[in-house]
């Protein structure tokens, strides 16, 4: 799925959910801009998968921006329209994540 997501970002075939836009604008550690999401996804990796999500399977991607800002993005690949849907994007808290890749218990 990650290869398809990255291909969509390179060819600008992606959509943001309203929730993603709201989260990006109100991120408590500073607004997240589209370019940061793109950078983090293109250099990122899947750290969790949600195959049962409806209407499309999704995944949690961890990546860093060119300024080394860590970001998490939940993305779904919509095979029927061949686009990525960014469901949410946020800067993960070190209090809740180990190396931004594993949830703290």
pLDDT digit string (tens) for the chain, length 105 residues: 999 999 999 999 999 999 999 999 999 999 999 999 999 999 999 999 999 999 999 999 999 999 999 999 999 999 999 999 999 999 999 899 989 999 888
* Per-residue three-class SS string for 22-58: HHHHHCCCCCCCHHHHHHHHHCCEEEEEECCCCCCCE
CB atoms within 10 A of CB 42: 12
pLDDT for position 69: 97
pLDDT for position 103: 87
pLDDT for position 105: 81
- Angle, vertex CA 62, rays to CA 89 and CA 59, nearest 5: 75
Residue extents of the structural domains in the chain: 2-81
Residue 51 zone, left/alpha/beta (φ > 0; ψ -120 to 50; rest): alpha
Q: Residue 10 CA to chain centroid, in angstroms? A: 15
pLDDT for position 24: 97
Q: Residue 22 CA to chain centroid, in angstroms? A: 14
pLDDT for position 50: 97
pTM of the model: 0.94
């Amino acid at each position: 799925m990650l290869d398809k997501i990255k291909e969509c970002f390179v060819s600008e075939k992606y959509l943001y959910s309203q929730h993603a836009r709201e989260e990006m604008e109100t991120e408590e550690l500073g607004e997240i801009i589209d370019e940061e999401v793109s950078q983090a996804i293109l250099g990122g990796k899947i750290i969790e998968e949600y195959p049962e999500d409806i209407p499309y399977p999704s995944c949690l991607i961890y990546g860093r921006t060119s300024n080394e800002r860590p970001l998490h993005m939940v993305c779904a690949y919509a095979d029927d329209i061949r686009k990525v849907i960014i469901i949410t994007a946020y800067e993960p808290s070190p209090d809740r994540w180990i190396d931004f890749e594993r949830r703290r218990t």
